[in-house]
Every structure is written in structure tokens, then in C-alpha cells.
Structure 1
Amino acid sequence: MKQNLFKCLPVAVAAILIGNSAQAQEPVKSSATLNTWSIGVNAGVLTPISPLGGENDFSKHSSSLGYGLYIKKQFTPYFSLRLDGVRGKLKGDNSEAYKSGAVNNNGIKSFETNLTWSGSLNAVVNLFNIDMFQKENALQLYASGGAGLAGYKPKVTSNAGTTVDYAGGKTIKELIIPVGIGAKFRVSEKINFDLGWTVNFVDGDNLDGVRQGRANDKYNYAYAGLEFSLGSGKQLAWHNPVALTYEEALSAKQTANALKGDLDAAKADNARLRSEMADLLKDSDGDGVADKLDKCPNTPSGTVVDGSGCPLVVPAPVIKEKVIVTEADRKIVNEAIKNLEFDLGKATIRAKSYPTLNRVAALLVEKNFSLKLAGHTDNTGSMALNLRLSKDRAESVKAYLVSQGANPSRIEATGYGPNQPIATNKTAAGRQKNRRVEFTLY
């Protein structure tokens, strides 16, 4: 049954690998990829005792060299699974009495066990980051626990000096339960310094080649080592979501203050312009054309006029051909939407958006399509500001398309502000999706 438990370990590791492969197939939306895989090497001291149990089969223990390696998968900043392997030697003798004063008279002078191999799958929990307001910390404390299997060969030496192989020199395989604590220090972006201590509880009393009492054997491994992050990004283990959330809140507040300042300045400019241009905007007959530009003053109320204020002659209706929008046409528009970018909080189109907008303008000229532009924002800032910004951005796209030869009468620009979100406004990713201009060909 113990072996069946250990046989499950490769299955668990395979599940980790498959899950990571599935995650890799999803498109990465963040600006920087966080590394989740790492390997580690370590060396330290193996001792056949435990402070968590009673007396051992030998009254005196010796410290021996141990060394190990591991591979780790980080699932969250606080939780990971680690596959550990350790080798080394364990030694002890009966050259002194127990602390209780008792003397071991079992006829065995000493033992030496070769820990040929050991493997265990451990859950590692980062207890806390030292500074919760740092995006990446330099020190972490962690605890670990798991299960695995150890293979070892004990040798015992009698008081007469005879050394024999316990169990006929065969490798003994036993279930082990490792429990440990440690501290990790970030040396660089790719390297961590690791200090740890693990107590291994063995499911048997064969480790030292002596069966004495009812207690199972135990051994310690205190070590120091280096951990190497795999990949080109930062380590997920040092990523602090609390600090990032705090920083995002501060950034949002600063953005809101900046937008409020822009809004106040725009209101002041508008008031000044209204005052200066009151005479230019005067329209006595109410036909929508200012008096200074009205070539036909005193037009009767309700008359439809042209740009010069004169009654508009309505032409006979023209029968239009049916407009057919192909998948290739939609692809051109979708590329323009995907590449469309504005300066922060403004309606200024960035230069990287021009090539795909030029293709949309050429499409409108070639096929005489009509186009509806719908500007949208997230809910950051006031409703009035967002309505103005969404309208201005839609108008900015229209102005650019017209500058490239598109018919302005076939382009409609509308701003909806934050009223039609397509994602949640509670996250930065959702707000990014909501800040958009939609194109509709017809």
C-alpha cells in the first residue's frame, strides 16, 4: 500500500505539467509574464534524530553530509508543489548514556545507513511577505509538508567490532512524511538563497538497523542552497498582489485628479469662447445658420435649409444598390479596432494606429460603405467627462478617415460614455476592454 501511494507521485507531477501546458495555450494578456517553474540544489547536514519525538535506538547521533535537488511549480504567490530528492548518510552509536541516564545494552556499538535515494512531493506555503506594500519582497518564510518514499541500506557494528549488512544488504523502501520550515532570500531576479530544515518521519523502525521499542525512526535534514527561476519574466513567488492593488488604487486616484483638472480647464475655455463668440453664433430666424453666414435671412420657421441658410431643394429619391459587407471587409475593420490607441485621457490618436485606419478609409472610398463609430469609456471619472471623451474620440476617428478621403456624410460618430460596458469595471483588465471605439459597416 505504501508503494501504491508513492506510485501516485508521478501521476501528480504529470497533472502539474499538463495543467501548465493548458495554461500556456491561453493568450498572455499581462505586460510581463510571471515565472512559475524553478529548480533548486542544496547541501547540508543529515542527523538520525528528531526534537519532535522520544529517544532513539542509539544514544548518540552523528552529523553527516547530505545533498539534494528539487523542481517546483508555483501556482499562486503563496502556494506551490515541490518534488524533492535527497541523498546522504546517517550515523550513530551507543558511546554515551541517554539524557535520562539509561544505558543502551542491545549489543550494537554503532550503525551507518546509506540513504541511497529519497523522493517526496511537498506542498509549500509562503507564510507571509515581510513588507506588504512592496511589489516584490526580498525575504519570505515558508512551511512545507508532504509524502514520499525513501530507499536506504543500514550497516550495524556489534560491540565485538563485527559489521554486517542489515536486511542482507538489500535496499529497504519505506514511506516517509517530511515536515519542514525555511526562509528564502531573493539574491537576484533569477536566483534565491534557501535555508531550510526538514524532519522526516519514517513509516518503520529499520533506518538504523535496530528494532527497539515501539517508536518509528526519524531523521533531520538541515540545508542551504540556491533556487533558479526558469523563464525570462519575474518570479510569481515574490509577486505581491496586495501591494499591486494598493499601487493601482493610488494610480487611479492620480488619474482621476488629472482628468478633473483637464475638465476644469476645458470648462473655463468653453466659457471664455462662448463669451467671445456670442455675436458670431446669433441666429435670428432659428434655422441653424448664424446671421453672419445666413444668405437667406428671415427663413420661415421649420424650413429645411442648406449650409448658407437658404431653403434646401430636396432631390428625387435615389434607389441604392444593396450593400454587401464581406468577411474580408470586416477583417480590415477588426484590425483597425484592435490597433486603435489614444493618448491617456485625450482624443489624440497615436501614430501606430494610422496604417490600419488608412485601410478602413480606402475601403470606405472604394465601396462607398457607411460607417458608425461608437465611442465608449470605463467608469473612471464623472459621467459628463466620460460622455465628452467618448464622443471626442469617435469624432477624432471620423476626422482622420475624412482626411484620408472618406465621405463625411457616410460616417456617424456617437459617444456613449460608460453606459455600455462589455466587461467589469472592478479590474484593470475589465476597464481596459471598456475603453474602446466600435466600428460598424453598413
Structure 2
Amino acid sequence: MKSNLKKASLLFTGILVGGKLFAQTPDTTRASDYVKPFSGDDAFRTWSIGVSGGVLTPYTIIGSNRKQDFTSPKANLGYGVYIKKQITPAVGIQADFLGGKLGADNSQVNSFGNTYDSYSTKLHYAASLSANVTVGNISWHDNKSAIQPYVSVGGGTMHYTPVLTSGGTSTNFRTDNGGAINEFYIPVGVGVKFNIAKGINLDLGYQVSFVYSDNVDGFNYGSNNDRFSYAHAGLEFALGKKSKPQMAVHNPVSSMRTEYMMENQNTKNQLQAQIDAQKAQNDQLKADLATTNANLAKFTADSDGDGVPDFYDKCPNTPAGTKVDGAGCPLPVAKDVKVYVTEADRQVAREAVKNLEFDFGKATIRQHSDESLNKLAQLMVAKKFSLKLSGYTDNVGSVEANLKLSRARAEAVKTYLATQGVEPSKITAEGYGKASPIASNKTAKGRQQNRRVEFSLY
């Protein structure tokens, strides 16, 4: 047993020293660890392989060891390899292979009075498929995770050959199939991984395998199935492009922080560039304005205060309060002219109202309304009439929308008449929305009548 413990100790030491050598290469590169948040699996290394060595023993930290078939468990050298596919940063599927030897001395006395001095079981292989769950892989102090505690559970088959020794004579437990046995077992493990270099992890773990039989030691005592443990140290190597981070150790919080810092810096640079460009533009505008003010100073003097600069004033020294034209000369005093609106004139306005239609929900005048509006425009130009336009809508829609639409329709009529020669100052346009309906809004015909613009000549 001392020889086996020495071998296991040397194996642990070698792995730890190797880990220290790897760890001496500082991982200061952070850009290579960055992955855009919410990227797919292609952005990571999701496959890895691992090797391990350690101690195989029937002694376990779970359950009562006093009730095992042999009372003095031995520690023997074990070894293992695995391949793992990481599904998410926290969950991976792992295929394990475990080999080595189990042994113990001093059997219990079974119900037949049989005892054995020792047993030695060659574990040809134990192959299993397990779920490996990382308990935590985010470091809030470092950009890259450093430690990942994990748990695992699975199931598989093991192929082994138990040999019993009594009185110096060794015999196989089974006489058929070369003494070999195949059994189902359930491995349950815990451990912790240390990131010693990019894509390389030191794996320290402890696994208890529960066998679905009582044949591992070749001796039946009591009603308990056999179990054994494997305490190990090993190295895990990520497969794939070295430029990609390993999913199992990736820190998504770091990537989100990097993304934020990059976007923040880009935004800051863009804003600074815009500020600098705006400052340069403002400086140029100030210079241009100063030049323009200097050139226009001579055009701003207005000695008589009539609103026309002296440079353009053809009639200087106009008395205060006198209305002048663009040349600064007094405007002729307009004589009051009385305007009379006849019944025939009102009939022209009524025809224009009767034939006026708009597109539904719009301020677009339909073409067949043009003829009546043209006659009204000719009348207003000829007799210098003024016109008040009052726009109305039906009750479909909100109050605010109807007010806006009624004003727009009145303005549309005003614009049309202005294009026909009527002075815009002769026309006032108001909108009253769905107020003052002239027909029922419960029928399509009534609503059509309520969508109108009323004309008042004066």
C-alpha cells in the first residue's frame, strides 16, 4: 500500500508542477477572451479532452465503511481520460474512461462462515456518460474566470476481474469468461477546475462509483452493493482554434462589460468629433456674421423712422406715423368704398358650397368642384368682395383630428381661390370640427352633408 501511495503522490506532484509551469505564462490578453454577447456556439471552443491520475480505493466518504465486505481498504493507482462537449457555459456532457486496480484486506465473516485474507480486482475499464454541471464560473473581480467548482452524475458499464486470496492461495471469483464481470454503475463526483493557461485547466476531483451489484470484491457480506472512490488530479485541454475562448470558463459578464466600454468609447469619439466640427462651424459663422454686420451697418440707418433705411428712402424726412411704400414715400389715402352683395352674388356662393366635395379624411378638393369655385373667384375679383370660410366635419374621429381637418379644408379653399386671382387678404379661413351639424351623422348621406365649408360674402 505504501508503494501505491508513493506512486499516487508522485503523480499528483507532477501534475501540480506542470500546472505551475503553465501558470507562469501570464494571461494578460483580454481582447482574445471577448465574445459578442449572445453569440452562438461557433464563437467558443466547446470540445475538450482530459487526463487524470489518482487514488482508487474501496474507502468512500459516503456511507458506512465498517459494513463493507473487507475491513482494511487499500489505496491503488488509478487513471482516467475523458472527452467533453460543453452545451452551455454551465452544463456539459462528458464521456469518461477509468482504469486501475482495487484491493483490500481482512474480509468480514459471511453467513457461510467464509473469510478471505484479501482481494485484488483489476478494473479493465469503467466507461460512463455523465452530465457535468459547473456551479459557478463568473469572477466579479477578473475579466476571466479563474475557478470553476462542478458536480457530475451519470451512468455506465464497468468490466473487471476480482481475485480472492486465502491462506496464500489466489482464486478467481468467477470461473467463466476468464473471471471477468460486466456490471452497471453510477458515478457521482465533485471537483474544482483552475484555469492555469488559456485552454488548459487543472482538474482536482473526487468521485464515488455506486456499483449495481456486490461482486467487485468477489465476496458477499450483508445486503449492501459495492462502491469505490477515485480521488484524482488531472489536466483538461480545450480543442479547437486557440483564438476562441473555452465556453466552460468564459465570463459573459466580462464580454458584456467590454461591449459596453467599446460602444461607450465609440459614442464618445463620435460625439467629440461632432462637437469639434460644430465648434469650427460656429467660429466660421461668427466671422462671417461680423463681416456681414460691418457691410450692412451703412444700410441700417433710418433717420425718419418710417421703416425704410436712408439708403433706399426716396422720400426722406417723412412725418412720424405716415404709412409709406417700399421706397419710403407716403401711401395714398384710400377712400372708403361701399360694397353691396346681391342675391345673385349669394347664389354663386351657394352653388360653390353645393358643389364643393373633399376626398374622405383629406383636405383634397375633388375636381368637379373647380367650376363653381372658379365662378366665385371671378365674382370676388370683379366686385372686390371679402369672404369668410367656415370648415366643418362629421362626427367620425376625435375632436382634435376633426378640428385639424376642418381648418385644413377651409385653408385648401382659400389657397385654391388665391390661385384664381383673389387677394389672400380678402379671405379668412376657420375650422370648427364636428360642431353645428346640418344633418344627422347616423347616415352616410348626412355625414357627407356635414363635411362642408360654408362661404360668407361681404
TM-score of the two chains, using structure 1 as the length reference = 0.52
- Matched with 2:271 is 260
2:55 aligned with 1:45, yes or no?
yes
How far 1:260 sits from its partner (Å)? 2.8
- Matched with 1:118 is 126
2:170 aligned with 1:163, yes or no?
yes
2:96 aligned with 1:84, yes or no?
yes
Question: Which of 223, 248, 264 is 1:237 aligned to?
Answer: 248
How far apart in 2 are the matches of 1:187 and 1:268?
52
* Contact persistence 1:135–1:239 (CA under 8 A): no
How far apart in 1 are the matches of 2:116 and 2:275?
91
Amino acid at match of 2:174: A
- Matched position secondary structure for 2:144: coil
How far apart in 2 are the matches of 1:126 and 1:105?
48
How far 1:248 sits from its partner (Å)? 1.8
How far apart in 1 are the matches of 2:93 and 2:139?
24
Question: Which of 48, 66, 69 is 2:81 aligned to?
Answer: 69
- Matched with 1:225 is 234
How far apart in 2 are the matches of 1:170 and 1:105?
23
Unaligned runs of 5+ in 2: 1-38, 294-458
Amino acid at match of 2:68: N
Moved over 6 A (4+): 279-282
1:375-394 pair list within 5 angstroms: none
How far 1:57 sits from its partner (Å)? 0.8
Amino acid at match of 1:67: Y
- Matched position secondary structure for 2:51: strand
Shift in CA distance, 223/118, structure 1 to aligned 2, threshold 3 Å: same
- Matched position secondary structure for 1:129: coil
1:43-442 pair list within 5 angstroms: 43-54=53-64, 55-94=67-106, 106-129=114-137, 131-158=139-166, 160-168=167-175, 169-233=178-242, 234-278=245-289
How far 1:280 sits from its partner (Å)? 9.2
Per-residue deviation, residues 363-399 of structure 1 (Å, max 9, x unmatched): xxxxxxxxxxxxxxxxxxxxxxxxxxxxxxxxxxxxx
How far 1:222 sits from its partner (Å)? 0.8
Amino acid at match of 1:35: R
How far 1:254 sits from its partner (Å)? 3.1
- Matched with 1:399 is none
How far 1:191 sits from its partner (Å)? 2.5
* Contact persistence 2:54–2:78 (CA under 8 A): yes
How far apart in 1 are the matches of 2:131 and 2:94?
6
How far 1:236 sits from its partner (Å)? 1.8
* Contact persistence 1:36–1:73 (CA under 8 A): yes
How far 1:130 sits from its partner (Å)? 5.9
TM-score of the two chains, using structure 2 as the length reference = 0.50
How far 1:278 sits from its partner (Å)? 4.7
How far apart in 1 are the matches of 2:252 and 2:172?
54
Per-residue deviation, residues 158-192 of structure 1 (Å, max 9, x unmatched): 3x333211121432111111111112122222422
- Matched position secondary structure for 1:77: coil
- Matched position secondary structure for 1:35: coil
Amino acid at match of 1:173: N
How far 1:81 sits from its partner (Å)? 1.1
* Contact persistence 1:185–1:193 (CA under 8 A): yes
Give % identity.
Answer: 39
How far apart in 2 are the matches of 1:84 and 1:243?
31
How far apart in 2 are the matches of 1:251 and 1:126?
29
How far 1:198 sits from its partner (Å)? 0.5
How far 1:240 sits from its partner (Å)? 0.6
How far apart in 1 are the matches of 2:235 and 2:92?
17
How far apart in 2 are the matches of 1:140 and 1:77?
11
Shift in CA distance, 222/281, structure 1 to aligned 2, threshold 3 Å: farther
Per-residue deviation, residues 268-321 of structure 1 (Å, max 9, x unmatched): 222222333359999xxxxxxxxxxxxxxxxxxxxxxxxxxxxxxxxxxxxxxx
Unaligned runs of 5+ in 1: 1-28, 283-442
Shift in CA distance, 251/105, structure 1 to aligned 2, threshold 3 Å: farther
- Matched position secondary structure for 1:92: strand
How far 1:91 sits from its partner (Å)? 0.3
* Contact persistence 2:139–2:251 (CA under 8 A): no
- Matched position secondary structure for 1:277: helix
How far apart in 2 are the matches of 1:130 and 1:275?
55
- Matched position secondary structure for 1:146: strand
Per-residue deviation, residues 247-268 of structure 1 (Å, max 9, x unmatched): 2223333333333333332332
How far apart in 1 are the matches of 2:292 and 2:113?
113
How far apart in 2 are the matches of 1:51 and 1:197?
10
- Matched with 1:404 is none
* Contact persistence 1:113–1:207 (CA under 8 A): yes
Shift in CA distance, 94/130, structure 1 to aligned 2, threshold 3 Å: farther
Amino acid at match of 2:85: K
Amino acid at match of 2:195: R
Per-residue deviation, residues 7-49 of structure 1 (Å, max 9, x unmatched): xxxxxxxxxxxxxxxxxxxxxx89x942111111111110012
How far 1:215 sits from its partner (Å)? 1.1
Q: CA RMSD in A?
A: 2.9
How far apart in 2 are the matches of 1:172 and 1:204?
11
- Matched position secondary structure for 1:107: coil
- Matched with 1:336 is none
